[in-house]
Structure 1
């Protein structure tokens, strides 16, 4: 932390001066993420001065070293900066133009600035935790109230992307090109190998042969084509899991959610964000009760959001388009579970350590938990029941 703190303090000094804080004090604390973040060190800070309200800050400082930069897409921090400084302004303008009521607007997080100087790219945002927001426990399954709210916010995000494309298609296409993510082939091969190894080790014996045959034949194809849309491209979050959302419960009992961690935003299929949330955030019991309901809820919310933006859902993205794309993309949920559940379910003390010397091999979790076995086999059971694994 000592090597990053001076740079971070310089940025906070600049913010304090811009906000006209005089004789101010800045208190910086490191925030432990418990395995929920593997690209950055996290900090909170409070800027305080007499006769001024405290300014509560959340900061992310990159710890992606050269070893990881060689195999990961280079645009992570540029993408997040673009979202906060440019894309959100475009989306706000669309909301204003269509006179959306506050309850129907996307819940943006305030940004105080970015420093994109390598190797310690830094994002300075409002500290939502000071407003009562919290990170969802990555090891727990979502409940209906949380899931429904998260999917409503996702529908708002996607609807604004559809509206952006309709209002300015050339500019939209240039944005899609700018935020494109290309993974190094060696990284993809490595992820494929470790994912297969863990899945084969912990899958229940009665489904092992089906799983091995399916993953050997289709895993790489599913991953490569996962975000490619069948019909209409939108700007998707591409890592839409509960630990990348902040939530609080209001006095009314209503869940309030804000979308964060926008480094992976890219052009793709809206269905992949939906599947990402479901298969990283829920267990078999939740899906047995709510999977179909959540699918319907997404399209109903998307349709309503498009209409509020004066777009016709049947022309923009019909229920038939959506259902066909969902059927085509459904295998992505299985591939995603194979790759992500080892890290999502790992015990905090066994999670990959965040530091500049991280290698791609550090993403392998050697001591997977019993929860991983339970969640993985829950997904396998679903895909057998749905007829995908035969």
Structure 2
């Protein structure tokens, strides 16, 4: 039997810079407490097994710094595959992923409705690593270098103005959203829902049900952060243009379907007009995250290895600094340029740029 063993780094400098204590703690809580509790709700309510939230079995977890370790099921053994991060996800994959997020988020509301104290307790155990980064001058400085890198990728002067300071302003946007968050709609989110963190069951040469992995960034947050992150980091302009609003409809319908097993309704828990408002509200932060991610995820294997090696030896701050100073070339540059220009085009088409704050 094959297993996945995740072992935390022990170097103190790397642990501090990479927020290892927080990230491994979160994943420990998710696999040992949150995910089992959510599925137990489904089992108790008689939800059909094919509608259950899927996650890798956890065979053991040690949450003692600096020796954290998590042992997980290797989902590849059951026919799950990781899709090519360089290729945008197609419509069927997005539908499967969207359904998984709808079920996952709905179960937070079920738990909140039936056992509010348990929901609050579990939510309070998840640490907000991003908030820590927002208050750290070291992180703010290291992220700022990425603005120039992104501006150098796009050629159109209008596009340069759109992306200007968007990455370094992420921390201001995050702080603003935290102050304005309506916890009535908050769920326990995945937090890092891009292509390499979602596996798909391979069924008859087709992409089937999705399973999320890597819950290190999980926390209580608005559900649209997961869904928009997933859509804008994993799809291209053409597919979004055709299906974006269909995906939102599908999310809400699957959210409602999951709630219905517990006698709850989406229109009471998370109305569609609230979802639409949150798309506009959280779209700005996702735009900034997508710009930042394009500088890492579009790089080729050799470039990525060098960047990850820097992170493993020096932490996230060094990774961001290296990303900002290492210019892209060739196919990497072409992929990143297409990704960023497609992102700008989608936000322009849907009027989402109109809701951006001006922090300058």
TM-score clears 0.5: yes
Distance 1:162 1:267 in 2: 12
Task: Kindly state the Cα deviation for residue 323 of structure 1 after the two structures are TM-superposed.
Answer: 1.3
Distance 2:167 2:213 in 1: 34
Q: Is the contact between residue 57 and residue 125 of structure 1 (CA under 8 Å) also seen in structure 2?
A: yes
Q: Is 1:371 the counterpart of 2:335 in the alignment?
A: yes
Q: Is 1:159 the counterpart of 2:116 in the alignment?
A: no
SS in 2 for 1:67: helix
Structure 1 counterpart of 2:278: 325
SS in 1 for 2:308: coil
Distance 2:289 2:190 in 1: 15
Q: Is the contact between residue 64 and residue 358 of structure 1 (CA under 8 Å) also seen in structure 2?
A: no
Distance 1:104 1:117 in 2: 34
- Taking a change above 3 Å as real, the CA distance of residues 371 and 187 of structure 1, as seen in their structure-2 partners, is farther
Q: Is 1:358 the counterpart of 2:314 in the alignment?
A: yes
Q: Is 1:242 the counterpart of 2:191 in the alignment?
A: no
Structure 1 moving runs of 4+ over 6 Å:
none
Structure 2 counterpart of 1:220: 171
- Between stretches 246-255 and 344-353, larger displacement belongs to 246-255
- Between stretches 263-272 and 197-206, larger displacement belongs to 197-206
Distance 2:14 2:281 in 1: 32
Task: Kindly state the Cα deviation for residue 120 of structure 1 after the two structures are TM-superposed.
Answer: 4.1
Unaligned runs of 5+ in 2: 355-360
- Taking a change above 3 Å as real, the CA distance of residues 326 and 389 of structure 1, as seen in their structure-2 partners, is closer
Q: CA RMSD in A?
A: 2.3
- Between stretches 239-248 and 140-149, larger displacement belongs to 239-248
**Match for 2:137 among 168, 186, 197?**
186
Task: Kindly state the Cα deviation for residue 187 of structure 1 after the two structures are TM-superposed.
Answer: 4.7
Task: Kindly state the Cα deviation for residue 159 of structure 1 after the two structures are TM-superposed.
Answer: 0.7
Structure with higher helix content: 2
Task: Kindly state the Cα deviation for residue 380 of structure 1 after the two structures are TM-superposed.
Answer: 1.4
Unaligned runs of 5+ in 1: 1-54
Q: Deviations over 1:85-107 (max 9, x none)?
A: 11122112210221100111111
When normalised by structure 2's length, the TM-score is: 0.86
**Match for 1:136 among 83, 95, 100?**
83
**Match for 1:63 among 4, 9, 13?**
9
Q: Is 1:383 the counterpart of 2:329 in the alignment?
A: no
Q: Deviations over 1:321-379 (max 9, x none)?
A: 11111121121221111211111111110012346422312233214322111101111
Task: Kindly state the Cα deviation for residue 150 of structure 1 after the two structures are TM-superposed.
Answer: 0.6
Distance 2:277 2:120 in 1: 24
Alignment of 1:40-51 (within 5 A): none
Structure 2 counterpart of 1:145: 92
Q: Is 1:298 the counterpart of 2:247 in the alignment?
A: no
- Taking a change above 3 Å as real, the CA distance of residues 361 and 268 of structure 1, as seen in their structure-2 partners, is same
- Taking a change above 3 Å as real, the CA distance of residues 209 and 353 of structure 1, as seen in their structure-2 partners, is closer
- Taking a change above 3 Å as real, the CA distance of residues 252 and 284 of structure 1, as seen in their structure-2 partners, is closer
Q: Is 1:207 the counterpart of 2:163 in the alignment?
A: no
Q: Is the contact between residue 9 and residue 15 of structure 2 (CA under 8 Å) also seen in structure 1?
A: no
Distance 2:47 2:95 in 1: 20
SS in 2 for 1:58: strand
Structure with the greater alpha carbon radius of gyration = 1
Q: Is the contact between residue 158 and residue 234 of structure 1 (CA under 8 Å) also seen in structure 2?
A: yes
Structure 2 counterpart of 1:272: 225
Distance 1:216 1:339 in 2: 6
Structure 2 counterpart of 1:260: 213
